[in-house]
Structure 1
Amino acid sequence: MSTAHLGDDLEVRSLVRVFGAGDGAVRAVDDVSFRAPAGRLTGFVGGNGAGKTSTMRMVMGVLAPTSGETLFGGRPITAADRRTFGYMPEERGLYPKQPVLDQLVYLGRLRGIPAASARTEILDHLERLGLADRAKDHVEKLSLGNQQRVQIIAALMGSPRALVLDEPFSGLDPAAVDGMADLLREHTARGVPVLFSSHQLDLVERLCERLVILRRGEVVADGSPAQLAARGTVRHRLVLTGDAGWVRSMPGVRAVDVDGPVALVEVSDDGAGRRLLTSALERGDVREFSPVRPSLTEIYREVAA
């Protein structure tokens, strides 16, 4: 078994992309900087129109930046670098009337992979993603989810040095998501940086070691899940033996939710937390008083609203 090695980071610095001119100009990407580290899964999230796809297109050279730069291994990305990247664009590029296997072999040869090697790799990927029995089918006969699987295979061929994937999990069932996640981890294990966008925040939270959140073309959060959780609003869960409705009137305490003996609260400071706990103990037993770290969905709502 091969040993994982450190690859090159993928990085963008001060990227700007303006569409149009004059009063009608739209600044779709506004001074965006972040790093997708080698050997890590980096999730790229944001609402529709946040600038994710435009940023990815600039990384891949499909779209020229108005200003700023894209780097690989600390130096400007070249056309030669990009030929070694795996890219899954927002607009899928499959030929509907071509058989799956023939089409993938053709795409592999365009990337410089010998036909025999491409065929072997493709058959392995088809097997792992549950499409082995559809290799001879025309793409147009596949469901949208299966077409997505084929597009993923096209991006993963040839041991890419970096992966830039725009919504790779869209339309996949849970089994296919797990298979795809395993494939991506195999690439990160050999030092490949993986940058992927997704609207599935629970999936991003489960898979990613780094997160970048965009809002209206700007980076509003960037870091590991633990780092982002630490900057979110910490709440406390209070579980009593009696009704917890009285917490609503406690100074320095905001009751987010109260359900019988269970309350989810935000406290303004440590003093308010101590007063809350003291009042609870005066009223009876306290079964639980513990911090609740925010989920990625909650952090996203805080920073991207």
Structure 2
Amino acid sequence: MDVAVALNDIHKTFGTHRAVDGLSFEIPRGTVFGLLGRNGAGKSTTIRMIMDIIRPDSGSIEILGRPMDGSVKDRLGYMPEERGLYPKMKVLDMLEFFGSVKGLKPAEARRRAIPWLERLELDEWKDKKVEDLSKGMQQKAQFITTVLNQPEVLILDEPFSGMDPVNQELFRDLLLELNKAGTTLIFSTHVMESAERLCNQIALIDSGRTVLSGSLASIKKKFGSNTVQLEFDGDGDFLESVPGVEKIHRYERFVEINMAEGESPQRLLEAATGRLVVRRFEVMEPTLHNIFIDQVGPGSDGETDAKELAHA
């Protein structure tokens, strides 16, 4: 497997707070990788260590086959959760500046920026000051700064934070387009729906430790499902007494049945076909949200995030 990023036994503490505690996982090249966990799990601290903004206390990180250095950093794109634009600069001037930080000459940075400005409907604003842009426009400008150097690996920390639904959909499409062209995407999020729509590889972390990691398909297969949707003709009241049935949710056209852990849906199917005309019997694939809750619990969004401690 060709690896874009490899973390090996990473530890990081801030004072008495253990933000990352023995974190290890690999990110294959060409994948869309989600670093998942509730607020305070250690996601942002991990992203900052990958980017060499802060250093781990112990352990090793390799990016594109080597430790982080200037030549590697120029092959990366990074969009932090806290957006960092220059409000008094004109949009195109600012993009040229960010391009120069990544080693681009002004003319080349401008050449690359113009198509992105047109694509994101900012071309008429290129000579306006950043502070004149709406929040959504500034989010688009921030994204352009991240991709000007045509990164091999694009790293985004909570990229959908604060975005309206229209921009969320736009950015999902852009990210998938970049991935299709060969860019490895790495993003952190606590929003499981976003991860499920984008990712083919994930690592779920909690309290700075890896809970599970691997391909989304294999993880879903491993966890299976104890939920069945059943559409039928006839009187289904008896279903509540079928061994293994824990709860039934009734909808207009079907029922959703929760089976006890370890129970095979086969017994339910046999009972249903014996007394009903079964129109549909479907064992539901577990959602990433279901797996998240199963592994780390509902949690609390009120926890202190390690990224806040990283600024201390």
| TM-score of the alignment, normalized to the shorter chain, above 0.5 | yes
Mapped pair 1:38 → 2:29: yes
Structure 1 CA distance for aligned equivalents of residues 196 and 142 of structure 2: 23
Gaps of 5+ in 1: 1-5
TM-score, with structure 2 as normaliser: 0.86
What does 1:126-205 align with in structure 2 at a 5 Å threshold?
A: 126-205=117-196
Does the 8 Å contact 2:36/2:205 carry over to 1?
Answer: yes
Report percent identity of matched pairs.
36
Q: CA deviation at 1:9?
A: 1.3
What do the CA deviations read for 1:145-164 (whole angstroms, capped 9, x no partner)?
22111111111111223211
Does the residue aligned with 2:160 lie in a helix, a strand or coil?
Answer: coil
Does the 8 Å contact 1:166/1:197 carry over to 2?
Answer: yes
Does the residue aligned with 1:9 lie in a helix, a strand or coil?
Answer: strand
Q: CA deviation at 1:269?
A: 7.7
Structure 2 CA distance for aligned equivalents of residues 113 and 119 of structure 1: 9
Mapped pair 1:51 → 2:42: yes
What do the CA deviations read for 1:124-148 (whole angstroms, capped 9, x no partner)?
1111122122212222222222211
Structure 2 CA distance for aligned equivalents of residues 185 and 284 of structure 1: 44
Give the residue type in structure 1 aligned to 2:68.
I
1:69 is matched with 60
Further displaced range: 244-253 or 268-277: 268-277
2:287 corresponds to which of 283, 292, 295: 295
1:251 is matched with 243
Structure 2 CA distance for aligned equivalents of residues 269 and 154 of structure 1: 49
Gaps of 5+ in 2: 298-312
Over 3 Å counting, the alpha-carbon distance change for 1:276 and 1:189 in structure 2 is closer
Does the 8 Å contact 2:64/2:72 carry over to 1?
Answer: no
1:3 is matched with none
Structure 1 CA distance for aligned equivalents of residues 83 and 39 of structure 2: 18
Does the residue aligned with 2:249 lie in a helix, a strand or coil?
Answer: strand
Instruction: Indicate the RMSD between aligned Cα atoms, in angstroms.
Output: 2.4
1:236 is matched with 228
Q: CA deviation at 1:71?
A: 0.7
TM-score, with structure 1 as normaliser: 0.88
Give the residue type in structure 1 aligned to 2:31.
R
Q: CA deviation at 1:233?
A: 4.5
Does the 8 Å contact 1:166/1:198 carry over to 2?
Answer: yes
Structure 2 CA distance for aligned equivalents of residues 7 and 190 of structure 1: 17
Does the residue aligned with 2:54 lie in a helix, a strand or coil?
Answer: coil
Does the residue aligned with 2:10 lie in a helix, a strand or coil?
Answer: strand
